[in-house]
Amino acid sequence: MAKAKVTMEVGNDGVAVITFVNPPVNALAIQIFAGLKEKWNEAAMRNDVKAIVLTGYGGRFSGGFDINVFEKVHKTDDVSLLPDVSVDLVTNIMEDGKKPAVAAVEGLCLGGGLELALGCHARIAAPRTQLGLPELSLGVLPGSGGTQRLPRLIGLSKAIDMMMTSKPIMSEEGEKLGLIDAVVPSKELLKVARQWALDIAERRKPWMRSLHRTDKIGSLSEAHEVLKLARKQVKQTARNMPQHLACLDVIEEGIVHGGYNGVLKEAKVFEDLVLSDTSRGLVHVFFAQRATSKVPNVTDIGLKPRPVKKVAIIGGGLMGSGIATSLVLSNIFVIIKEINPEYLQKGIKTVEANIRGLVARKKLQQDKANKAFSMVKGVLDYSEFKDVDMVIEAVIENVPLKQQIFIDIEKVCPPHCILASNTSTIDLNVIGQKMSSQDRVIGAHFFSPAHVMPLLEIIRTTKTSAQAILNLMAVGKTIKKVPVVVGNCTGFAVNRTFFPYAQSAQFLANLGVDVFRIDAQIISFGLPIGPFQLQDLAGYGVATATQKEYSSAFPDRIFKSPLLDLLIKSGRNGKNNGKGYYIYKKGEKARPDPSVLPIIEESRRLTNIMPGGKPISITDQEIVEMILFPVVNEACRVLDEGIVVRASDLDVASVLGMSFPSYRGGIVFWGDTVGAGHIYKSLRKWSELYGNFFKPSKFLEERAAKGIPLSAPAATSSASRSRM
């Protein structure tokens, strides 16, 4: 890999072209900043240099600050590792330097890269260059003057929108807004930038210092109104995250007290935020997601994935049609097989509706939608399975049915074909036990809705070939999912880890805690909905079926609540029929249904676990802990049994599959943030009060006793060897 460096070439025209080199995206490593400072000072001193052009190597300006530095800061708690870029380099040396500088940007100009460009006196861009400040998505804020210069160039509202959403814009829009001075063809970029820099030096074009501009800010009262509205929105959309409000405070500082004061405050707040739990969590998830693509004995043994061009899906229900949508949108031909014409028509129509929905929301162009429509075909038998590269079974959770399907497809599919099941709980060894080619059997567990949720949980048995795993990982990436490879057991990694989640909620409800208060506290913690509304949305049939699987797999730690059966007997089925814990009406927000309370009371009477027959007294924090500590406890068992390659895989899976808040770093990372000791003591106390459901796992007990993080690699046990 090329070493990060900065080069400078001075032309006969008197323009010094300073280029940073750190492929593939010219990440701004610490040595890049040191090199920039050195070259800029040299250019300033040289008599043969009239002006400067700043650019990036290889058709990309810069993807931003090197995030590896954040990771080092998090490990050491040492903010002095962060370079002094904002005041020393961008403001004093670049913007206030004696020679004009023009940024020539192309491809990517993000984060610290855009902030360097903002410190120049003009910006020339190639077409379709991405411009953005995505720092808030990593728990920090733009730390090199971006909070001050961007509003001064494009206006306060648009600048706030770009920073709060972390979404980039294209250079064409940047030109309209005033962020970019000119968009020119890539081959003319340097030529135009050089001339522009000379024109500034010779006073033919204005010498603009962004930090000194005020014309786009508006009056103080207008600015206060914009900031007030932004704060209100942030409190709704970014609860529990400090960086959004901190960023708005820093922007306001610069508007009220001047850009330079804003830059000083920005630098201080940046350092505080880097050390926050939020930044630690988000940076952890960023690196953890990258690590999922490395699977020992699969991705490191020289195999190449086989192209998958045609996929058959058995079952066109909600999951099957969602999976089909994902595949056709990525140019993979799909055959949907159903048992009768009515079901088949419904499945095809659902795929078409999914695609039309994306067009309506402007997430897909019509011509691409038309192509996707043509990539799906419906069949009622196996005659067209002879040339498929993969089959995904997506029928109901019924063991004999799935076994028969796998016997049938083994006979009709070509020898290279991957035979995958979308089961969410059933052990794959059971599904494939009557087949001869078990090396092709694999789990492809999508999460609902399959064309929206980003996780693909890939389940390997002890017999699944490395080639089949690699092929499915490649398909996952093609359809823009994050594939996480896990071992085989009931519920696999994600659903197994989270099976205590709904049960803890039922436990609390039967201890007398208000179900709507439980949901509210879980939402307040950061999940999109609470456990009871989740049960309503999934449907009670799913909950009953999975409960049966877990009861037989983990009988020692199951809480059997009669509540679900009572709800079904009373004619409720959640959102499916509009009545569950909540009332569902089309076009209206779900609202709590008070008529469910007598049913909950009946469940409490039957379980009879309330101490002295009275509801327990519990704090909001204890509600969250009693719901989520059993989940961490099960995660410990999953780690101990070697179901996942590494703890961070479970973190990624919990964030992408269960919508666990990314700013908390995932389920294991959050467990470490809270501390194994506190989790162990709490579970032990509850297990003494309420029984085995809360009993701490051996893994958790050992980690708590020795003070070892839950995420530290587990010792290789016979269990872990058998699973992965």
Q: pLDDT per residue over 215-234, tens digit each?
A: 999 899 999 999 999 999 99
Q: Which of 42, 95, 106, 115 is catalytic?
A: 115
Average of per-residue pLDDT across 192-216: 96
Residue 561: Cβ within 10 Å count: 21
Average of per-residue pLDDT across 21-25: 96
Torsion of CA 75, 79, 81, 87, to 10 degrees: 150
Model confidence at 604, pLDDT cuts 50, 70, 90, reads: very high
Burial 432-445 (b: 16+ CB within 10 A, else e): beebeebbbbbbbb
Rg (CA), the chain: 29
Burial 383-404 (b: 16+ CB within 10 A, else e): eebeebbbbbbbbebeeeebbe
pLDDT score recorded for residue 723: 56
Cα distances from 44 to residues 41, 89, 94, 234, in angstroms, run: 5, 13, 10, 43
pLDDT score of 398 more than 90: no
Give yes or no: 115 in active site.
yes
Model confidence at 722, pLDDT cuts 50, 70, 90, reads: very low
pLDDT score of 721 more than 50: no
Cα distances from 429 to residues 255, 415, 585, in angstroms, run: 64, 20, 42
Tokens matching residue 149: 């210069």
Alpha-carbon gap, residue 341 to 228, rounded angstroms: 56
Contact 19, 55 (CB under 8 A): yes
Model confidence at 620, pLDDT cuts 50, 70, 90, reads: very high
pLDDT score of 497 more than 60: yes
CA 174 to chain centre: 27
Residue 577: Cβ within 10 Å count: 12
Alpha-carbon gap, residue 155 to 405, rounded angstroms: 60
Q: In 3-state terms, what secondary structure has residue 683? A: helix
User: Which residues, 6+ apart, have CB-to-CB distance to 612 below 8 Å?
Assistant: none
Average of per-residue pLDDT across 701-710: 97
pLDDT score recorded for residue 538: 85
Contact 125, 105 (CB under 8 A): yes
Q: Kindly report, residue by residue over 90-122, the tens digit of the pLDDT.
A: 999 999 999 999 999 999 999 999 999 999 999
| Nearest CA among 11, 543, 719 for reference residue 19 | 11
pLDDT score of 718 more than 60: no
Q: Kindly report, residue by residue over 297-338, the tens digit of the pLDDT.
A: 999 999 999 999 999 999 999 899 999 999 999 999 999 999
Average pLDDT of the chain is 95
**Which DSSP letter does residue 615 get?**
P
Cα distances from 531 to residues 183, 459, 507, 579, 617, in angstroms, run: 51, 25, 12, 16, 20
pLDDT score recorded for residue 427: 85
| Nearest CA among 376, 450, 461, 390 for reference residue 420 | 390
Tokens matching residue 594: 């008070």
Alpha-carbon gap, residue 378 to 626, rounded angstroms: 47
Q: What is the separation, in whole angstroms, between the first and last Cα of the chain?
A: 31
Name the least confident of 269-283, 528-542, 620-634, 640-654: 528-542
- E runs forming strands in 460-531: 482-486
| Nearest CA among 214, 298, 219, 306 for reference residue 262 | 214
Contact 714, 720 (CB under 8 A): yes
Amino acid at residue number 293: S
Contact 25, 2 (CB under 8 A): no
- Give me the phi and psi of 709, to 5 degrees please: -60, 145
CA 320 to chain centre: 23
| Nearest CA among 289, 335, 296, 301 for reference residue 315 | 335
Amino acid at residue number 255: I
Model confidence at 3, pLDDT cuts 50, 70, 90, reads: confident
Q: Which of 71, 95, 106, 135 is catalytic?
A: 135
| Nearest CA among 544, 448, 568, 427 for reference residue 492 | 427
| Nearest CA among 481, 480, 484, 470 for reference residue 300 | 470
Tokens matching residue 6: 């900065």
Give yes or no: 135 in active site.
yes
How many CA atoms does the CB half-sphere of 350 hold within 13 Å?
A: 23
Residue 669: Cβ within 10 Å count: 26
Torsion of CA 600, 606, 607, 613, to 10 degrees: 80
| Nearest CA among 116, 91, 88 for reference residue 102 | 116
Average of per-residue pLDDT across 61-66: 97
Whether residue 531 has a cis bond before it, omega within 30° of 0? no
The residues that bridge with 420 in the sheet, in sequence order, are 392, 442
The residues that bridge with 124 in the sheet, in sequence order, are 104, 182
Contact 642, 716 (CB under 8 A): yes
Model confidence at 426, pLDDT cuts 50, 70, 90, reads: confident
- Report CA torsion sign: 657, 658, 663, 668: negative
Contact 531, 575 (CB under 8 A): no
Q: Kindly report, residue by residue over 468-488, the tens digit of the pLDDT.
A: 999 999 999 999 999 999 999
